Amino acid sequence: MTTISTTDPHWQQKVQEILLSLAKHHQTITYADLAEMAAIPSPYRIHQLTEYLEHMIAEDAKAHRPLRAAVVISKTSRGLPAEGFFDCCKAHLIHHHKGEDHAAMHARLLAALYDTAAGS
């Protein structure tokens, strides 16, 4: 179970705003850049961010919405989210389609998010 700090909800709201803007513009962002833009306090900025993104994945999956966290990518994973993103998806019953690798699944999830964001 993920534990989310509620001591500074301002940065969490900022994360949501940034992700929405990125989705509307069909863009992605690295974890580090998002942590910086959202002014997530140290220490453990990336850990706090990933916990919050996992929380968002759970919310989106439960509500049958496209995954907002799909726009966040690792600078070391060739434009893909970190492995934990895919593990979290699996935990919330969001699976690869037959024959999909991580890149194809991510592209599908991004397309769904971008389509939805364009209409908002």
Distance CA 53, CA 50 (A): 5
The answer as to whether 4 is a domain residue is no
Terminus-to-terminus CA distance in the chain, angstroms? 31
The answer as to whether 37 is a domain residue is yes
The answer as to whether 3 is a domain residue is no
The answer as to whether 32 is a domain residue is yes
Range of the domain at 38: 9-118
The answer as to whether 59 is a domain residue is yes
Cβ contact 38:61 at 8 Å: no
The answer as to whether 67 is a domain residue is yes
The answer as to whether 2 is a domain residue is no
* Tens-level pLDDT at each residue, the chain (120 residues): 445 554 557 999 999 999 999 999 999 999 999 999 999 998 999 999 999 999 999 999 999 999 999 999 999 878 999 999 999 999 999 999 999 999 999 999 999 999 999 876
The answer as to whether 1 is a domain residue is no
Question: What tokens does 22 get?
Answer: 């990125």
SS3 percent helix, strand, coil of the chain, rounded to 5, is 60, 5, 40
Distance CA 111, CA 78 (A): 18
pLDDT at residue 119, as a whole number: 77
The domain tally of the chain equals 1
Question: What pTM was computed for the model?
Answer: 0.89
pLDDT at residue 43, as a whole number: 92
